[in-house]
Amino acid sequence: MRTVLEVADLQVHFETARGPFKAVNGVSFALHSGERLGLIGESGSGKSTIALAIMRLIKPPGYIAGGRILLDGTDLLQLDQEAARTRRLADVAMVTQGAMNALNPVIRVRHQLLDGLEAHGVHLAKNEVDEWLAGLLDSVGLRPEVADLYPHQLSGGMKQRVCIATAISLNPKVIIADEPTSALDVVVQRRVMQTLRKVQEQLRAAVILIGHDMGLMAQFADRVAVMRAGQIVEIDDVRAIFARPQHPYTRLLMESLPSLDQRDSLLRSGPIARPAAEVPTP
Amino acid sequence: MATIPVEEIAHPPVVPQLGILTHLLHNRKFTIGLAVILVLLLVSLIGAQFVDPAERRTGAFPARQSPSWDAILGTTSLGQSVAIQLTQAIPNSMLVGFIAATLGTVIGAIIGLASGYFGGKVDALLRILIDVFLSVPPLLFLILIASLLRGVSVPTMALIIGLFAWAWPARAVRSQALSLKERQFVQVARLSGMGDLEIVFRELLPHMLTWLGANFLNAFITAILAESGLSILGLGPQRDTTLGIMLYWALRYGSILQNFWWWWLTPVILLMVLFLALYLVHLGLDEVGNPRLRAHG
Ligand SMILES: Nc1ncnc2c1ncn2[C@@H]1O[C@H](COP(=O)(O)OP(=O)(O)O)[C@@H](O)[C@H]1O
Ligand SMILES: [Mg+2]
The CATH code of domain B27-39+81-291 reads: 1.10.3720.10
What would the pLDDT profile of B27-54 be if each residue is shown by its tens digit? 999 999 999 999 999 999 999 999 998 8
What H or E segment, with its residue span, contains residue A27? Answer: strand A19-32
Q: Categorize the per-residue pLDDT at B200 as very low, low, confident or very high, splitting at 50, 70 and 90.
A: very high
Residue B7 has pLDDT above 60, yes or no: no
Q: What is the pLDDT of residue A243?
A: 86
Q: Tell me the average pLDDT across B216-220.
A: 96
**How far apart are the C-alpha atoms of B122 and A215, rounded to whole Å?**
48
Residue A68 lies in a domain: no
Q: What is the pLDDT of residue B8?
A: 47
**How far apart are the C-alpha atoms of B188 and A136, rounded to whole Å?**
18
**Which of A63-72, B116-125, B287-296 bottoms out in mean pLDDT, i.e. has the lowest?**
B287-296
Q: Of A57, A120, A272, which is closest to B2 when you measure between CB atoms?
A: A272
Which of A20, A21, A75 lies closest to A53 in space, CA to CA?
A: A75
Contact check, Cβ <8 Å, B16/A149: yes
Residue B296 has pLDDT above 80, yes or no: no
Residue A27 lies in a domain: no
**How far apart are the C-alpha atoms of A176 and B212, rounded to whole Å?**
37
What would the pLDDT profile of B68-85 be if each residue is shown by its tens digit? 888 889 999 999 999 999
Domain CATH for A222: 3.40.50.300
What would the pLDDT profile of A197-242 be if each residue is shown by its tens digit? 999 999 999 999 999 888 888 889 999 999 999 999 999 999 999 8
**How far apart are the C-alpha atoms of A268 and B2, rounded to whole Å?**
15
A211 CA: distance to closest CA in chain B (Å): 18
> Cα of A55 to ligand 1 centre, how many Å?
16
Ligand 1 is surrounded, with C-beta below 6 A, by A 14, 21, 23, 41, 43-49, 61-62
> Cα of A256 to ligand 2 centre, how many Å?
20
Sort strands A36-41 and A62-71 into parallel, antiparallel or unpaired: unpaired
ipTM above 0.85, yes or no: yes
In which order are the strands placed within the sheet that holds A19-32?
A19-32, A3-16, A62-71, A74-75
> Cα of B145 to ligand 2 centre, how many Å?
57
Q: What is the mean pLDDT of chain B?
A: 89
For A51, which residue in chain B has the nearest alpha carbon?
B191
Q: So where are chain B's domains?
A: 27-39+81-291
Ligand 1 nearest-atom number relative to CA A47: 22
Chain A residue numbers with beta carbons less than 8 Å from the beta carbon of B292 are 105, 152
What would the pLDDT profile of B120-162 be if each residue is shown by its tens digit? 999 999 999 999 999 988 788 878 888 888 778 999 999 989 9
Contact check, Cβ <8 Å, A106/B207: yes
Residue A75 lies in a domain: no
Higher pLDDT: B44 or A275? It is B44
- Owning domain of residue A241: 37-45+91-271
Q: Tell me the average pLDDT across A15-23.
A: 95
Residue A197 lies in a domain: yes
Which of A57, A14, A54, A62 lies closest to A37 in space, CA to CA?
A: A54
Higher pLDDT: B138 or A104? It is A104
Tell me if A44 sits within 8 A of A215, measured CB to CB.
no
The total of structural domains in chain A comes to 1
Q: Tell me the average pLDDT across A139-151.
A: 94
Q: What is the pLDDT of residue B291?
A: 53
Nearest-CA residue for ligand 1 atom 26 is: A44
* Distance separating the N- and C-terminal Cα atoms of chain B: 43
